[in-house]
Amino acid sequence: MSFVILIILFGGMMWFMQRNQKKAASQRQEQLDNMQPGSEIVTIGGLHGILASVDKTKGTIELDAEGVILTFDRAAVKTIKPIATTDEATDAIDAVIADAKTEAVDANETADQQDSPFE
């Protein structure tokens, strides 16, 4: 009786492991299918670059790594960072500009409050 329970537990464990592997594989395939030129790519070898083009018929991609165009298999992609939308980029730039302005105003106020040795 205990042998049957062990077999059922082992079978259940194998089923769950296979299910998780299928989910991960389908998620990776979806990520590779949705690559667009302009995305930041990291290869399995550690090369960082910008995706220049995708050739789905050959299964290759071209990366622009600081002006050097390199061709890789799609399977060599480890990480894909999506393209930042213009709204996100402008919001980030606006936040940096606002911070710089407040720092400049604060620095100007503290400079005005100090006594000058030339007066």
Contact at 8 Å (CB) between 16 and 36? Answer: no
Residue 80 falls within a domain, yes or no? yes
Instruction: Assign residue 57 the CATH number of its domain.
Output: 2.30.30
Residue 99 falls within a domain, yes or no? no
Residue 15 falls within a domain, yes or no? yes
Q: Measured on CA atoms in the order 105, 106, 111, 112, is the torsion positive or negative?
A: positive
Q: What is the pLDDT of residues 9-56, one digit of tens each?
A: 999 999 999 999 999 999 988 988 888 888 899 999 999 988 988 888
Domain that holds residue 62: 1-24+34-88
Residue 61 falls within a domain, yes or no? yes
Residue 69 falls within a domain, yes or no? yes
Contact at 8 Å (CB) between 33 and 77? Answer: no
Q: What is the pLDDT of residues 76-115, one digit of tens each?
A: 999 888 776 556 656 667 777 777 777 766 666 565 555 5
H helices present in 1-119, as ranges: 2-33, 86-113
Residue 93 falls within a domain, yes or no? no
Residue 2 falls within a domain, yes or no? yes
* Total domains, the chain: 1
Q: How many CB atoms lie within 10 A of CB 77?
A: 20
pTM reported for the whole predicted model: 0.55
